[in-house]
Amino acid sequence: MKKVVVLFVALMLFAVFLGGCFPQQGQRTSQAKQKTVASSQTVPVRRGRIADTVSELGTLEPLSKVSVIAEESGKVAEVLVEEGESVEKGQVLLRLDTEDLEITRSQILAQLKSARVDLEELLSGPTEVELCSKEAQYTEALLAYEEAKKTLARNERLFASGAISQEELEASRNEVTKREKALAVAKAELEETKRKPKKEDVERAKARIEEIEASLRSVERRIEKAEIRSPLKGIVLEVNVEEGDFVSSGTSASGGTTPVVVADLSTMKVDVPVNEVDIPRVRIGQPARITLDAFPGKTFEGQVVAVAYQGKTSENVVTYDTTVHLANPGNLLRAGMTANVEIIIQEKENTLLVPASAVKEEGEKTFVFVKNAQGQPERRAVVLGIRNDAFVEVMEGLQEGEEVFVTPPEGTEVSPSSASKGAQRNVQIRVGPAPQGPPPPGR
């Protein structure tokens, strides 16, 4: 009996010892878990805007930029614009020296005037003065011829009587011949004056006028081209000539430069190299946001207008040139500025968002860890929408205001969420380093 009492007392003392040790051990474990959970970061599920974008760098260029070249060779007489100056379409930028062309033009005008007078005289016929003059010349020639014939007849009688020599008789005969020819000429001129102009003469005169007029037009075009005009309304970007420089027709100024460069800055463009991984998602018509270091905090709206089908390879990276157009109100933007182009693939407003780091994947399933009422991480399946590097759209599985773990505490066993009710058994998820030994069995 005494031995039984002693054994009972010993057992009681051992029980007290165990009661003092194991509660402290459990308390320390619970406190460690609470400390680990407390140190894990959670964020609330909130509504906001999310966009799936492709971002690349490019250089701004005017949509319309023209290198203005000379159509006529010559020396620069005047430079009428400066770099940065606004110009209208058709405004004169440069003038070339046209002194030689002006002299040629004056000579051609004189020839044209003379040819027109000739045609007019040909068509109008003789004036009364001209007709009277020709008739008087004919009458005078006729009288002289008749007088010469009378003198010859008289001298022939005198020669027969031996009153004059043979030489005097021959002189009288020569005079008749001379006067006869003069009469024939006068008669022909009188008849020509009275006759209407021939058709071929008129056509010949007209053809000459047309030939001279063609030469005049050619010279006047060259004079006109000596004024180098702007082909569009815009801003002068470059002026590469000075007075006295020589420019060649259809080429450039001396030294191989373009005389003037004009650009329409109202609409700008930027070509960006899009990686082959992203290019299947890029489409013509997609909006784009453009930011520039020159205008901090300011965003310009643009649109994709062209996507190349031929790629370019550089350092084993294949890219496709994609062109974005953007308006340039007030000509704030300038050619050559570096632009950060963000092509918007998808975008939503007022949708549920969580950090991308909060989303976990297991095979084809996606889930997050939600902070439950006990402050513990609870696995929750979610359906995702738009993603980017920072945030993810949650279409199903979460409500606004719920808190999700960005990184669940290490070593925690996660109870199934309400979404997983009906499962045959609880699923334990251990986050962090793998524990030593076999995994805990299902319960």
pLDDT tens digits in sequence order for the chain, 443 residues long:
433 333 333 434 334 333 444 444 444 444 444 544 555 689 999 999 998 899 999 999 999 999 998 888 899 999 999 999 999 999 999 999 999 999 999 999 999 999 999 888 777 766 677 778 888 998 999 999 899 999 989 988 888 888 889 999 899 899 999 999 999 999 888 877 777 667 888 899 999 999 999 999 999 999 999 999 999 999 999 999 999 999 888 765 545 578 999 999 999 999 999 999 999 999 999 999 999 999 999 999 999 999 999 999 999 999 999 999 999 988 899 999 999 999 999 999 999 999 999 999 988 899 999 999 998 999 999 999 998 888 999 999 999 999 999 987 665 454 444 333 333 333 333 333 333 333 333 33
The reported pLDDT for the residue numbered 15 is 40
Q: In the chain, what is the greatest distance between 2 CA atoms, to the nearest angstrom?
A: 222
CA distance 400 to 177: 134
Q: Which of 237, 281, 311, 224 is nearest to 85 (CA)?
A: 237
The reported pLDDT for the residue numbered 308 is 96
The reported pLDDT for the residue numbered 70 is 87
The reported pLDDT for the residue numbered 82 is 93
Q: Do residues 291 and 298 touch, judged by C-beta distance below 8 A? A: yes
The tokens for 250 are 């259809």
> Per-residue b/e over 379-404, b at no fewer than 16 CB within 10 Å?
bbebebbbeeeebbbbeebbeeebbb
**Contacts with 392 (C-beta within 8 Å, 6 or more apart), sequence order:** 50, 353, 354, 355, 356, 358, 359, 384, 385, 386
**Contacts with 1 (C-beta within 8 Å, 6 or more apart), sequence order:** none
Q: How far is CA 414 from CA 48, 49, 240, 380, in A?
A: 29, 31, 74, 10
CA distance 235 to 91: 12
Write the burial class of residue 441 (CB in 10 Å: 0-12 exposed, 13-18 middle, 19+ buried).
exposed
Give the up-direction half-sphere exposure of residue 238: CA atoms within 13 A in the CB hemisphere: 14
Q: Tell me which amino acid residue 204 is.
A: R
The tokens for 439 are 């995994």
The reported pLDDT for the residue numbered 427 is 31
The reported pLDDT for the residue numbered 196 is 66
- Work out the number of other CB atoms within 10 angstroms of the CB of residue 261: 20
Residue 415 pairs with which residues in a beta bridge?
378
The reported pLDDT for the residue numbered 437 is 38
Distance of CA 223 to the CA centre of its chain: 31
The tokens for 213 are 């007029």
Q: Which of 220, 228, 219 is nearest to 249 (CA)?
A: 228
The reported pLDDT for the residue numbered 409 is 67
The reported pLDDT for the residue numbered 17 is 36
The reported pLDDT for the residue numbered 81 is 94
Query: End-to-end CA distance of the chain, in Å?
Result: 45
The reported pLDDT for the residue numbered 410 is 66
3-class secondary structure for the chain? CHHHHHHHHHHHHHHHHHHHHHHHHHHHHHHHHHHHHHHCCEEECEEEEEEEEEEEEEEEEEEEEEEECCCCCEEEEEECCCCCCEECCCCEEEEECCHHHHHHHHHHHHHHHHHHHHHHHHHHCCCHHHHHHHHHHHHHHHHHHHHHHHHHHHHHHHHHCCCCCHHHHHHHHHHHHHHHHHHHHHHHHHHHHHCCCCHHHHHHHHHHHHHHHHHHHHHHHHHHHCEEECCCCEEEEEECCCCCCEECCCCCECCCCCCEEEEEEEEEEEEEEEECCCHHHCCCCCEEEEEECCCCCCEEEEEEEEECCCCEEECCEEEEEEEEEEECHHHCCCCCCEEEEEEEEEEEEEEEEEEHHHCEEECCEEEEEEECCCCCEEEEECEEEEECCCEEEEEECCCCCCEEECCCCCCCECEECHHHCCCCCCCCCECCCCCCCCCCCCC
